[in-house]
Structure 1
Amino acid sequence: MTDDKRDRYLENLRGEIDGASLYRALAEAEPDPKLAEVYGRLAAVEDSHAEYWKRQLAKLGAHTRGLKPGFRSRGLAFLARRFGPSFVLPAISALEHADSGTYDKQPEAVAGGLPQAERSHARILAAITGPASGLEGSSIARL
Structure 2
Amino acid sequence: MTNDIIELATQVGRSLEAKRLLLATAESCTGGGISYAITEIPGSTGWFDCGFVTYSNASKTELLEVPAALIAQFGSVSEEVAAAMAQGAVANSNADVAVSTTGIAGPTGAVPGKPVGTVCFGWSRGATTYTERLVFSGDRQAVREQTVAHALRGLLRFIE
Q: Which has the larger radius of gyration?
A: 1
Structure with greater helix share of residues: 1
Give TM-score scaled by structure 2 length: 0.29
**Which protein has the bigger strand share?**
2
Please give the TM-score of this superposition, normalised by the length of structure 1.
0.31
